[in-house]
Amino acid sequence: MSQPDPLYAFEKLSEAAHALATHPGRVQERLAEAAIYLIRIRPADIQDEELRRMFVGIRDDLSFDEPEGKEGRIAATLQKTSDADASEIARRILELHDRLGRQLGL
């Protein structure tokens, strides 16, 4: 197994934050775009236990629903996610990005 890479995790969180801020559409659509970057992060890349739990929770909140058709888990989940819940997930992604960046001195 490769070594944890917190800088890689931060880079992908930065790309996810950028997608949340700039991608057009509803928050669910922006989360779907951000998820493209989040799925590349391994929990082990986030060494701080609290932040790792936060990341796993975000990932779980984006993919808990079973797909009914050809869509993936994330698309199936976001189709059923309310605007308020989607906004809360987006807020947690930004918080995780900010906290990890501070830990890394970035």
- Name residue 22's amino acid: T
**pLDDT for residue 80 is more than 80:** yes
With helix as H, strand as E and coil as C, how does 24-35 read? CCCHHHHHHHHH
pTM assigned to the model:
0.91
Distance CA 35, CA 71 (A): 14
Helix (H, G, I), strand (E, B) or coil at 23: coil
Task: Report the candidate in 63, 62, 60, 43 with the shortest Cα–Cα distance to residue 51.
Answer: 43
Q: Highest mean pLDDT: which of 2-11, 59-68, 87-96?
A: 87-96
Q: Please identify which residue in the block is written with the tokens 């775009």.
A: 33
**Three-state DSSP class for residue 44:** helix
Asked if residue 17 lies in contact with residue 35, where contact means CB atoms within 8 angstroms, the answer is no
Q: How confident is the model over 14-28, as pLDDT tens digits?
A: 999 999 999 999 999
